[in-house]
Amino acid sequence: MSAVIKVFEYDKLICNKVYSAVNFTEKHLIALQKFNTVNENKYFTLIHDGIRFKNYVGVLKVANLTIEILPKVDKKYTISSDDKLKENWKNLMLQMLKKSGFINITSISNADLRLRNTSLLDIYIQEYLKEVSLLLRKGLRKKYRLVEENTGVLKGRLLFQKQIQKNLIHKEKFFTAHQTYDKNHKLNQIIFKALIVVSDIAKPSFIDKINRLKLDFPELDNIKVSENTFSSIVYDRTNKQYEKAMSLAKLILLNFSPDIQSGSNNVIAILFDMNNLWEKYIFRMLQKDQKDGEYVVSYQNRMKFWNNKVIKPDIVLKKEVDGKEQTFIIDTKWKLIDHNKPADSDLKQMFVYNMYWDAFKSILLYPTNTDADTSFGSFHKGRDSDNKCKLGFLKVYKERNGVLSLKDRIGEEVMNLFEINN
């Protein structure tokens, strides 16, 4: 039975300490230390006898332990916060991932996301099994491939050097290279390899379905998979049906770190940079909530800044104001700050964006758990006209009967922060 620990960003786990009746053991810590080293300390920091998480949210599974890492919008949220609060923020995270396109799973409803025992890993596994089932129903594609083998029949091209090496005594054999048409090719090999990994990490309720799917595959070569394996795949009308299953297989295989020594402490991580998620979520909500083309919104524009360096604000808006098209900049920051104490580096960044894009106004957009408002301030240099920027604070959720859900018209709330009269 898999145990679950829920933490917030920047929380820490200490070896042999109990969290919500679950013991974080030395075995778990060692596996995560190895995983962290392989990933160049990307996801968390090693501390004395433990780990401290960074700004990545999602799910880690090591051996029988699932660790859910949740967004944090209040400094008082800690690992000791109550289970109901954590469950609410897990659901909010999953909703944000879905609306932002990070969970590209149309069949998962909001009701599914709210299931108490459903983790992000469960959602991806469920969708992957559905896609594999669909592929098998349509029939796995066959392809031509070149095969070198020692056979009793002369077919294809005789490989003279290998014929001499292998068949100097066995005159009845032929070492040949020939084309064969079967299902043993890279697409099917990747799909099956991911299915094997899923069978190692899935909870028991999935195992029966996984085993039945495995039986429907032919014998396939076991290949090594890397980022390059997927980047070399070109999709066309003949293999388009594989595209969604392959995107899920990529997520599973590239985020899986097997324990070579014992096999019992495998780690899989499906984690998302909260800065990227916040940025993409705000962009998608601005797209969704605009009315009748009232503005044009674009994502990560870029301009050359110095030599080969470029600058790229998160979101650029174009909107007509008083008969003239004006530019507005939004740069999203997923961090907790005092309402009047932005970082100097963030303000300098916005000054540059205002100058390069000739922006009418710009906003540094932060999350908050309270209703907050600030006013525009002016930079003292750079333009004859006003050069304005403000700190914007956005509460993304609403509460009803103790249950949190995302607000409906976030894009409108963001536009209101610009204080545009028309």
- Nearest residue to 23 (alpha-carbon basis) of 53, 47, 3: 3
Nearest in space to 125 (alpha carbons), one of 25, 199, 40: 199
CA angle 351, 361, 408 (to 5 degrees): 120
- Which amino acid appears at position 14 of this protein? I
Computed over its alpha carbons, how large is the radius of gyration of the chain?
A: 27
Q: Name the band, by pLDDT with cuts 50, 70 and 90, for residue 337.
A: confident
User: Would you state the pLDDT for residue 381?
Assistant: 84
φ, ψ (nearest 5 deg) of residue 82: -70, 160
The span from the first CA to the last CA of the chain, in angstroms, equals 58
Q: Using pLDDT thresholds of 50, 70 and 90, give the confidence band for residue 292.
A: confident
Give me the architecture of the 290-416 domain, per CATH.
Answer: 3-Layer(aba) Sandwich (3.40)
Contacting residues for 350 by C-beta, under 8 A, at least 6 apart: 329, 331, 362, 364, 389
pLDDT at 170: 76
Kindly indicate the confidence band of residue 128, based on its pLDDT and cuts at 50, 70 and 90: very high
User: With contact defined as beta carbons under 8 Å apart, do 328 and 362 qualify?
Assistant: yes
Phi, then psi, of 137 in degrees rounded to 5: -65, -40
Q: Give pLDDT, residue 422.
A: 58
pLDDT in tens, 152-197: 777 777 777 777 777 777 777 877 776 777 899 999 999 999 999 9
Confidence of residue 132 (pLDDT cuts 50, 70, 90): very high
Is the four-CA dihedral 192, 196, 202, 208 of positive or negative sign?
positive
318, burial (CB in 10 Å: exposed 0-12, middle 13-18, buried 19+): middle
Confidence of residue 113 (pLDDT cuts 50, 70, 90): low
Distance CA 170, CA 19 (A): 67
Residue 371, pLDDT above cutoff 70: yes
SS (H, E, C) 244-309: HHHHHHHHHHHCEECCCCCCCCCEEEEEEEHHHHHHHHHHHHHHHHCCCCCCEEEECCCEEEECCE
pLDDT in tens, 379-408: 988 776 678 999 999 999 998 888 889 999
DSSP structural state of residue 4 = E
Domain boundaries, the chain: 3-138+187-273, 143-182, 290-416
Share of the chain above pLDDT 90, in %: 61
Examine the pLDDT at 115 and tell me if it is beyond 70. Answer: no
Q: According to the model, what pLDDT value does residue 112 have? A: 55
Higher pLDDT, 361 or 339: 361
- φ and ψ at residue 78, rounded to 5 degrees: -140, 175
Mean pLDDT of the chain: 88
What is the band of 56 on the pLDDT scale with cuts at 50, 70, 90? very high
pLDDT at 372: 77
The mean pLDDT value for 210-222 works out to 95
Q: Is the dihedral of CA 126, 129, 135, 137 positive or negative?
A: negative
Instruction: Give yes or no for a contact between 204 and 169, defined as CB atoms under 8 angstroms apart.
Output: no
At position 200, the amino acid (one-letter code) is: D
Mean pLDDT for the stretch of residues 294-319: 93
Q: What is the separation of C-alpha 244 from the centre of its chain, rounded to a whole number of angstroms?
A: 15
